[in-house]
């Protein structure tokens, strides 16, 4: 949020405590702490009746620096995404005019990084020259005059005691960003406290990420509030808010708290990214690059890597759609239609009304529509299909689980001890309290019965409408739990599937998420309109999520709301089958291709078979996602960070490292795309195409720009 009115003045009603200078610096075996008053200190009396901002610097892993800001330390710590432990300092050096001397050597040449700190020891006369000393593998601290530099890998941060407050972050000596001026500040607005920090923006620096955001791909000039909402894909609201951004200057920043965070990207100050959160403390981590891939690799090493997924999950998923009428005969008619037309299906999904109306969720099949669920699921398996069913974490009052959950204390409560309820979505619905391990186990036991029947995976819908006027079982701050609830919900279901189905076989289709949610995939883009405009905004959301650490992503082919024009559906089929995961799903109408026209059947078949032929290549790309945390669908700037023309591209992407995909967003087939420098080859024809230029083409419904990068190989079958 903005605390200022222009550059010079505070906004009306805002009081500020801004770190002005660094009065003193202390360090121990794991961190460096600076004490920063909000005024210049000319005599001892200046230390009275004035606050301090305490700034602590440490490193949880090489190439990552943690910054903790605090005004008052007595409050409740926020929920964080990164553990509090930090690597011990490997060496501490003091240099002065006579050379340098070491005051602490913790023996961090041990690559395990497990050495512990000790008391100061040694002197300059006893030490070998710098050239003869062994290299270290842990963070190091250098004091040179009044300057302190904490170095972790090639990333360093420098501050200067006695001078104006400033933190300077460098990669291998080159300045990445800095925090000065209002770089560390406490604000009071209407009696509420906030901690804020600013990190400088360089000329031409672009900011990406901050979750699945459907607006402009580069976040410069935007105000982004990290607060999960069920807002569709056409506004500034988002289902998946992630307080992490990636900079084109070669670093990333994670604000390490699950509660609300406000980002002012070049808006509170045009030369800085400001981030702020309610409370008396704020913690953020800087992730070194220098390439965007290296930033994501470090970020996912800390917050969790995407796991391997079953190969069958990359095939085509078909849904019943949301409010359509269906029973087993309807389901079979769809599957028969796909078989007759030679379109391979991998997964059949039952959306909400597999359960009785007003009973969501009781996890009981509607007996009027599905009188023999076990037999039906067995018959679907005999046809080579996996089965997914829709669930959410809400318990309708009419569900038999409501009374059961309330009696056992498994539902979220209000401050007066009553069960929290409302009538939005389901009449009298309550919310499962996943902060209670017994409640999570109770919920998962109900799902386990479905697995016993033959269900293979779950669509974990919702998780954004989480109230703040409640009391959680573990005492969590309700504002911290609002975003983090999706993490607990998806984690509980994913770990059940992993336990029951085995490593590499668990998969969700989830909507809500926050930082670290990439560990429980897949996530899809939510409720979009059935238009070309919404198709493009969906892609922007997926690319933004990709730069927020998420390795897999999907969307509703054809759009969710309304009935798509046949041209929209056919163009979306090509885009959808060249995404990491591919699902046909709608709201009030079926998404079988013959409902549009016969050409739609041919288009869907062509691209389904094309994706199947790319299976060896996609398997290799999946391996990179699991090992390095790189997304399968990659923004152009991730693969071509040195090409300035790629900085803002959001209507095309790389599928893995080798295959450029440019979806067509027009009925006419006209498309403009940028081809980076080098020689490219069309995947379908083998025709060479010279890069380093923009290309304008017209494509039939059966094609789109799909080119192989020079020097790369796209493994195929068939």
Inter-residue contact 316 to 346 (CB < 8 Å):
yes
| E-strand stretches of 351-428 | 386-391, 394-395
Cis ω on the peptide bond leading into residue 460 (within 30° of 0)? no
350 to 293, 341, 458: CA distances (angstroms): 37, 22, 10
Could you tell me which of 597, 599, 558 has the C-alpha nearest to residue 577?
558
Q: Which two tokens stand for residue 235?
A: 């506004």
Instruction: Give the max Cα distance, the chain.
Output: 89
DSSP character string of 532-593: HHHHHHHHHHHHHHHTTT----B-EET-SBSPPPHHHHHHHHHHHTTSSSEEE--SSS---G
Could you tell me which of 633, 617, 610 has the C-alpha nearest to residue 702?
610
What whole-number distance in Å separates Cα of residue 699 and Cα of residue 671? Answer: 8
H or E segment at 447?
helix 437-453
Inter-residue contact 633 to 624 (CB < 8 Å):
no
**Phi and psi of 670, rounded to 5°?**
-70, 140
Q: Which two tokens stand for residue 515?
A: 């930082």
Q: Which two tokens stand for residue 157?
A: 């941060």
What whole-number distance in Å separates Cα of residue 243 and Cα of residue 252? Answer: 11
Query: Under DSSP, is residue 496 helix (H, G, I), strand (E, B) or coil?
Result: helix
Q: Which two tokens stand for residue 211?
A: 């979750």
Catalytic residues: 461, 464, 527
What whole-number distance in Å separates Cα of residue 55 and Cα of residue 408? Answer: 44
Cis ω on the peptide bond leading into residue 439 (within 30° of 0)? no
Q: Which two tokens stand for residue 675?
A: 């081809």
487 burial type by CB count under 10 A (0-12 exposed, 13-18 middle, 19+ buried): buried
Cis ω on the peptide bond leading into residue 606 (within 30° of 0)? no
What whole-number distance in Å separates Cα of residue 641 and Cα of residue 654? Answer: 13
What whole-number distance in Å separates Cα of residue 486 and Cα of residue 466? Answer: 9
C-alpha distance across the termini of the chain, in Å: 55
Nearest 5 degrees, angle CA 239-CA 510-CA 300?
80
What whole-number distance in Å separates Cα of residue 258 and Cα of residue 136? Answer: 34
381 to 138, 374, 378, 387: CA distances (angstroms): 52, 11, 5, 8
What whole-number distance in Å separates Cα of residue 586 and Cα of residue 580? Answer: 19
Q: From the CB of residue 423, how many other CB atoms can be counted at a distance below 10 Å?
A: 10
């Amino acid at each position: 949020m903005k605390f200022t009115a222009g550059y010079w003045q505070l906004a009306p009603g805002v009081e500020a405590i801004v770190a002005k200078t660094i009065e003193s610096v202390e360090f121990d075996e794991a961190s460096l702490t600076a004490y920063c008053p909000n005024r210049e200190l000319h005599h001892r009396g200046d230390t009275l009746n004035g606050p301090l901002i305490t700034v602590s610097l440490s490193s949880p892993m090489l190439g990552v620096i943690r910054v903790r800001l605090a005004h008052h330390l007595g409050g409740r710590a926020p929920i964080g995404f990164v553990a509090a432990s930090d690597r011990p300092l490997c060496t501490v050096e003091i240099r002065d005019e006579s050379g340098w001397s070491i005051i602490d050597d913790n023996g961090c040449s041990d690559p395990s990084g497990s050495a512990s700190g000790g008391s100061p020891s040694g002197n300059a006369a006893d030490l070998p020259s710098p050239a003869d000393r062994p290299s270290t593998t842990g963070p190091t601290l250098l004091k040179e005059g009044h300057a302190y530099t904490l170095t972790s890998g090639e990333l360093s941060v420098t501050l200067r005691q006695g001078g104006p407050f400033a933190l300077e972050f460098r990669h291998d000596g080159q300045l990445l960003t800095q925090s000065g001026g209002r770089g560390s500040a406490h604000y009071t607005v209407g009696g509420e406290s906030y901690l804020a920090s600013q990190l400088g923006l360089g000329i031409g620096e672009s900011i990406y990420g901050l979750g699945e955001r459907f607006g402009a791909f580069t976040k410069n000039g935007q105000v982004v509030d990290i607060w999960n909402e069920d807002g569709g894909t056409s506004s500034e609201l988002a289902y998946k808010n992630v307080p992490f951004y990636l900079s084109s200057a070669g670093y990333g920043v994670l604000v390490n708290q699950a509660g609300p965070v406000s980002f002012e990207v070049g808006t509170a100050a045009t030369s800085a990214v400001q981030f702020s959160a309610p409370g008396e403390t704020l913690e953020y981590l800087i992730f070194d690059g220098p390439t965007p891939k290296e930033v994501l690799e470090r970020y996912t090493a800390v917050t969790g890597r995407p796991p391997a997924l079953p190969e069958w999950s990359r095939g085509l998923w078909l849904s019943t759609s949301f409010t359509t009428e269906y029973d087993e005969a309807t389901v079979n008619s769809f599957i028969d239609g796909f078989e007759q037309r030679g379109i391979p299906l991998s997964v059949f999904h039952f959306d909400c009304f597999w359960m009785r109306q007003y009973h969501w969720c009781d996890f009981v099949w509607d007996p009027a529509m599905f009188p023999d669920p076990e037999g039906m699921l067995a018959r679907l398996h005999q046809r080579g299909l996996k089965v997914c069913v829709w669930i959410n974490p809400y318990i309708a009052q009419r569900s038999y689980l409501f009374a059961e959950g309330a009696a056992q204390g498994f539902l979220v409560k209000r401050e007066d001890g009553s069960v929290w309820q409302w009538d939005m979505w389901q009449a009298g619905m309550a919310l499962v309290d996943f902060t209670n391990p017994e409640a999570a186990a109770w919920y998962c036991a109900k799902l386990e019965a479905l697995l016993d029947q033959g269900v293979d995976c779950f669509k974990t819908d919702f998780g954004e409408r989480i109230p703040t006027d409640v009391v959680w079982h573990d005492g969590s701050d309700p504002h911290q739990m609002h975003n983090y609830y999706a993490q607990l919900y998806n984690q509980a279901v994913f770990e059940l599937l992993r336990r029951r189905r085995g490593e590499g076989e668990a998969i969700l289709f989830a909507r809500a998420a926050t930082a670290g949610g990439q560990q429980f995939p897949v996530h899809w883009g939510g409720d979009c309109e059935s238009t070309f405009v919404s198709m493009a905004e969906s892609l922007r959301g997926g690319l933004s999520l990709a730069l927020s650490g998420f390795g897999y992503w999907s969307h509703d082919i054809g759009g969710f709301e309304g009935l798509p024009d046949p041209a929209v559906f056919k163009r979306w089929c090509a885009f959808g089958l060249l995404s990491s995961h591919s699902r046909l799903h709608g709201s009030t109408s079926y998404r079988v291709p013959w409902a549009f026209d016969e050409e739609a059947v041919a288009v869907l078949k062509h691209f389904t078979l094309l994706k199947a032929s790319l299976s060896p290549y996609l398997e290799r790309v999946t391996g990179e996602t699991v090992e390095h945390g790189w997304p399968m669908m990659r923004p152009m700037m991730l693969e071509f960070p040195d090409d300035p023309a790629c900085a803002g591209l959001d209507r095309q992407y790389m599928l893995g490292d080798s295959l450029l995909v440019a979806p067509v967003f027009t009925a006419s087939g006209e498309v403009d795309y940028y081809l980076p420098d080098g020689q490219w080859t069309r995947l379908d024809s083998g025709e060479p195409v010279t890069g380093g230029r923009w290309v304008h083409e017209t494509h039939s419904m059966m094609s789109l720009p799909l080119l192989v990068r020079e020097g790369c190989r796209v493994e195929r079958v068939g």
